[in-house]
Amino acid sequence: MPHADVVVIGAGLSGLTAATRLAEAGAVVTLVAKGHARTHWGSGGLDIAAPHAARTPADGVARLAALDHPYSYLAPCVAPSVAWMMERLAAAGLPYAGTLDTPIRRVPTAIGGTRRVAIVPQAQSAALRPWGRDEVLVVAGIAGYKDFWPLAIADSLAREAVWHGADRPAAVVGVSVELRGLGDRHNLNAMHLARRFDEGALRADDIAAIARAVERAAEGRPGRVALPAVFGLAAHAETWAALRAQLPLEPFEVPLVPPSVPGIRLWRVLRDRIRAAGGRVQLGEFVHAVRVEDGRVTAVEMEAATRTHAIRTEALVLATGGLSGGGLRATDDGRIVEPVLGLHVEAVEQDAWLVRDGLDPAGHPVEAAGVRADPDLRPLGADHRVSHANVHVVGGLLADQRSIRERCGDGVAIASGWRAARGLASDATRSPIDCEMADSARTEL
């Protein structure tokens, strides 16, 4: 039976963070997951904390830390873990802009609304800068691409209401750009376009066509141009540099519906880093069972084509997500359960599942369902005692967060994955890690 110091279940940002940090520490790590997670349908940005009235991510973390929230014990890990993450993304050629002290601002979305962000990929960062009174926003789409309708987006962004009182461009105009060879394509999606820019054969022609269309639409006015987030995967840095050099206005990418090209870029960086450090990433692996002896996980079993494949392990990181990711499930008899280990789940009673206002700003009470953990992220049972001594719960599975309303999902994922790796790496490599210590000052992981 193969062996790993740590098995990580789940390929979302929390699982990737934990696996990356553990592999870099020298631990033998295997990450297994049934498929891709939020990276492939999110914006690619890092939502650390943006509850109502928060001015910056740091302010948002402080507000949430004062509540019954994962940040009440994870807050000291947020700054070093986010710095750690951004260092690795930049080193791989995928730099991010913004810090925990960057003001949270409204930026355009692909449906013609705005969203609140502070830390985004460099290719989205031009949208963070305050709008000048004379600036025009050109929304430039690609003809035939149905997930980004530039004229409709521009019409919506021209309305004052969608900016919610924030500064906005003086004018918004949409333009559709014809790219050679796409006229007869059906069901064109973001991955088709990203691969087109990766291949590079038509890149110069495509950028020239976009530049001409933007120049006509801008009519000599200063401003910026919003583009669909499709400009390359492997060759994104090269493509984006060419766009910035040739377009008459400063460009920024706008995240789209899945598949998320910016999110896939993020996923690829972390996956490749795990593998480069000696770890394994196995997708399409459905966890069949987890063996537990005396309150400790000893092996993880996955379903294979004709047999059960098992990995012996010293520890487990459970990064399976919340209700939306399948890490929690609702049963016919009105319970919310954790299906892998049967961990105790804190959740409201079934009578509270139905609410009168599905869009209540306070959120749905089921949102906060999850597994309670001790400060070391070990799961607690109904008796408030640690139920599994070598299991660490991370990310969306943790109780008491409302990630949609609080915009804290990425921050909790990174901080919890980073913190779980601290304790596990100490066991596996005998090199203790201090959550308070800046990453640049450490001598080990």
- pLDDT tens across 139-179, in order? 999 999 999 999 999 999 999 999 999 999 999 999 999 99
- pLDDT tens across 253-284, in order? 999 999 999 999 999 999 999 999 999 999 99
- pLDDT tens across 35-92, in order? 898 899 899 999 999 999 999 999 999 999 999 999 999 999 999 999 999 999 999 9
pLDDT above 90: residue 228: yes
pLDDT above 60: residue 298: yes
Backbone dihedral angles phi then psi of residue 106, each to the nearest 5 degrees: -90, 130
- What is the C-alpha separation between 179 and 183, in angstroms, rounded? 8
Q: Of 220, 285, 284, 290, which is closest to residue 248 (Cα–Cα)? A: 220
Rounded mean pLDDT of the chain? 92
End position of a domain, from candidates 197, 230, 254 = 254
pTM given for the model: 0.94
Both 11 and 57 in a single domain? yes
Has residue 134 been placed in a domain? yes
Both 292 and 315 in a single domain? yes
Give the number of residues written for the chain. Answer: 445
Tell me if 352 sits within 8 A of 365, measured CB to CB: yes
pLDDT above 50: residue 356: yes
Has residue 100 been placed in a domain? no
Has residue 105 been placed in a domain? no
Both 249 and 351 in a single domain? no
- What is the C-alpha separation between 294 and 366, in angstroms, rounded? 32
Domain of residue 47: give its range.
3-94+264-441
Has residue 102 been placed in a domain? no
pLDDT above 60: residue 340: yes
End position of a domain, from candidates 226, 254, 282 = 254
pLDDT above 60: residue 116: yes
| Torsion sign (Cα): 21, 23, 26, 28 | positive
End position of a domain, from candidates 188, 221, 254 = 254
Report the percentage of the chain scoring pLDDT > 70.
Answer: 95
Find the range with the poorest average confidence among 178-187, 255-264, 356-365.
356-365
pLDDT of residue 426: 62
- What is the C-alpha separation between 57 and 407, in angstroms, rounded? 10
Both 227 and 143 in a single domain? yes
Both 431 and 310 in a single domain? yes
| Domain count of the fold of the chain | 2
- What is the C-alpha separation between 151 and 173, in angstroms, rounded? 7
Q: Can you list the pairs that 58-66 forms with residues at least 24 positions away whose Cβ atoms lie under 8 Å? A: 58/100, 58/101, 60/104, 60/406, 60/407, 60/408, 61/100, 61/408, 61/411, 64/406, 64/408
Higher pLDDT, 210 or 430: 210
Has residue 381 been placed in a domain? yes
pLDDT of residue 333: 87
Has residue 38 been placed in a domain? yes
